Amino acid sequence: MTDNKLTLWQSIEVLTKTILNMQKELSLLKNTALDQDVTLEKGKELSSGIYEANFKLNKAINIATLPKIGHRMLSGELVILNHITKEEVKIPRDFHYLKVIKLNHDDYKLTFCNFLGNEFFEYKKYDPQYSDLSDEYKFVDFGSVKKTNNLKFKEYVGHAPKFFAVEGLIEPGSENHVIDLFELVRDGKGRKVGTLADEFGYFDDQNKLHYYNYHKSAESNTYDPESFSVKMINLDVKKIDKFHLIAEQGDIIIHTILENLDIF
């Protein structure tokens, strides 16, 4: 009996320490101030000579990652593209609606569905072409949406679709089109709420940063590690969905994949 009680108290002690450490980490994030340092650093190798680009707070906490998945329209089909492997997933017109789902505690994403709210990748889960796809294709991170207003996606969670994708402007140097998102209302097309980003960024073997924004150019910008700095658009981390990259070539806004830190 004594051993059981000791084990229980040890478990409680471990759990308490874990909670306190998490609270300390979240407190650091929630009180982001001007003197806190945000850097863009080289991460794990994704492919030969291509390394993940991670945004870190005070060189300790990974808060976001540059995307490798882009979204675009081509010949009426919505295309999800892995910019590293060049793998494409095509979403047919019937599934160009999007809804907000809750994956787990405080982790919300957009996903493609039809007018009835049936999710495309659930519908295709027994199709060998789609069954082994990773989640990065199945869900759209809120940070991947260039919002036109202060939209709070979490307020739209539910089975029914809340948005739909429409072909927008053509991307320079290609036949691809930008994907615009519109709010779905009773009478059909509501206000435009944003655009799906089509961006890609990585570090190479020489620690140079390569960044593409296909909405503006098919060519990349390349930055030496000493020639740029980054900052968050909003000092309140809970409202962050993009970052500024400050460089001699000119400042740019970067849309990222946010880490689920229970604060966004």
pLDDT tens digits for 106-117? Answer: 788 999 999 999
Q: How many domains does the chain have?
A: 2
Residue 192 is assigned to a structural domain of this protein: yes
Bridge partner list, 104: 107
Q: Per-residue confidence at 236, pLDDT binned at 50, 70, 90?
A: very low
pTM over 0.75: yes
Rounded-to-10 torsion of CA 34, 150, 263, 101: -160
Same domain? 204 vs 175: no
The segment with the largest mean pLDDT, out of 12-21, 41-50, 229-238, is 41-50
DSSP H or E run through 52: strand 50-57
**Domain residue limits at 115:** 71-79+87-196
Distance CA 264, CA 248 (A): 31
Q: Per-residue confidence at 49, pLDDT binned at 50, 70, 90?
A: very high
Average pLDDT over residues 192-208: 95
* Model pLDDT, residue 249: 76
- Whether residue 155 is predicted with pLDDT greater than 60 in this model: the reply is yes
* Model pLDDT, residue 142: 86
- Whether residue 195 is predicted with pLDDT greater than 50 in this model: the reply is yes
CA distances from 77 to 95, 121, 234 (A): 10, 16, 35
Residue 60 is assigned to a structural domain of this protein: yes
Distance CA 93, CA 264 (A): 31
Residue 184 is assigned to a structural domain of this protein: yes
- Whether residue 34 is predicted with pLDDT greater than 50 in this model: the reply is no
- Whether residue 15 is predicted with pLDDT greater than 90 in this model: the reply is no
Same domain? 207 vs 190: no
144 phi and psi angles, rounded to 5 deg = -90, 5
* Model pLDDT, residue 86: 94
Same domain? 186 vs 94: yes
End residue of a domain, out of 154, 177, 196: 196
Give the count of alpha carbons within 13 A of 243, CB side only: 27
Average pLDDT, the chain: 84
Residue 13 is assigned to a structural domain of this protein: no
**In this structure, what token pair is assigned to residue 203?**
């570090």
- Whether residue 33 is predicted with pLDDT greater than 50 in this model: the reply is no
CA distances from 219 to 175, 187, 197, 212 (A): 15, 40, 16, 7
The segment with the largest mean pLDDT, out of 35-44, 123-132, 233-242, is 123-132
End residue of a domain, out of 144, 166, 196: 196
- Whether residue 172 is predicted with pLDDT greater than 80 in this model: the reply is yes
Distance CA 111, CA 100 (A): 7
Contact at 8 Å (CB) between 197 and 256?
no
Same domain? 75 vs 176: yes
DSSP H or E run through 99: strand 97-104
Same domain? 115 vs 213: no
Contact at 8 Å (CB) between 225 and 208?
yes
pLDDT digits (tens, 9 = 90+) for 75-93: 989 999 999 999 999 999 9
End residue of a domain, out of 170, 196, 222: 196
* Model pLDDT, residue 233: 66
Same domain? 114 vs 182: yes
